C-alpha cells in the first residue's frame, strides 16, 4: 500500500477502486491497476453520499445512535474476516447512517408483487454488491417472475451477453412470454 500512497492514491481509495472494478466485472482493469500502482497518478472518488441517506438509511435498518455500536460491529467483522476486511461499500453505507435514529421509511419486508405486471429479474451469480441469493429470494416471492442469471461477475448485467440483452429487450418490448409459474 505504500506505493499507492506515494502516487496520491491512498489505501482506502485503492481498496475502493479495486472493489468497484471487481463489482463491475472489469478484471482486466483491476489487473492493470495492480500492475500500474506506483506508476502514473490516479484517483477515484465515488460520490453518492446524498443517495446513501435516501436509499440506504431509509430502506435498511442500519440505526446506530453513535459510533460505539458501529465500532463493535466493525470489530466483529474484522475478527470474522481479517484478510478481506469487509467491503468499502458496506462500511460507507453503515457509517452514513450513524446518528439517524428515526424509523426507515421503506424497511425490508416480504416482496408484495402479486398485482404487479410480470417481473424480469436480471442478476449475476458473482455480484459482490448484491448477493445472488437476494435475486433468488425475490424471484420466489414474485409469482410469475422470470430470473435470468449471468454466470459471471458484475453488477448490472444487461450488457453482459446476448442472453441477458435478449431477455431484457423481449421483456421491455412486450415480446416476452406471458406470466408463467416461476422459472429460472
Domain ranges of the chain: 1-46, 47-108, 120-172
Helix/strand/coil for 158: coil
Angle at 81 between CA 77 and CA 85, to 5 degrees: 75
The answer on pLDDT for 165 being more than 60 is yes
Contact, 118 vs 146, CB < 8 A?
A: yes
* 6-41 pLDDT, tens digit each: 445 555 666 677 777 777 776 677 677 666 654 444
The answer on pLDDT for 110 being more than 80 is yes
| Average pLDDT rounded to a whole number, residues 58-87 | 80
* Confidence at residue 13, expressed as pLDDT on a 0 to 100 scale: 66
Q: How many CB atoms are closer than 10 A to CB 154?
A: 22
Amino acid at each position: 500500500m505504500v506505493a499507492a500512497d506515494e502516487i496520491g492514491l491512498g489505501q482506502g481509495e485503492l481498496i475502493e477502486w479495486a472493489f468497484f472494478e471487481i463489482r463491475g466485472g472489469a478484471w482486466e482493469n483491476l489487473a492493470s491497476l495492480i500492475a500500474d500502482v506506483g506508476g502514473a497518478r490516479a484517483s477515484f472518488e465515488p460520490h453518492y453520499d446524498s443517495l446513501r441517506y435516501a436509499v440506504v438509511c431509509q430502506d435498511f435498518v442500519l440505526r446506530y445512535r453513535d459510533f460505539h455500536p458501529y465500532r463493535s460491529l466493525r470489530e466483529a467483522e474484522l475478527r470474522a474476516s481479517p484478510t478481506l476486511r469487509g467491503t468499502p461499500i458496506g462500511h460507507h453505507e453503515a457509517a452514513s447512517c450513524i446518528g439517524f435514529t428515526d424509523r426507515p421509511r421503506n424497511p425490508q419486508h416480504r416482496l408484495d408483487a402479486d398485482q404487479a405486471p410480470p417481473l424480469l429479474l436480471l442478476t449475476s451469480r458473482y455480484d459482490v454488491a448484491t448477493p445472488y441469493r437476494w435475486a433468488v429470494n425475490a424471484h420466489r416471492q414474485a409469482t410469475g417472475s422470470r430470473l435470468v442469471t449471468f454466470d459471471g461477475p458484475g453488477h448490472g448485467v444487461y450488457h453482459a451477453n446476448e442472453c441477458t440483452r435478449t431477455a431484457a429487450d423481449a421483456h421491455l418490448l412486450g415480446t416476452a412470454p406471458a406470466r408463467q409459474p416461476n422459472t429460472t
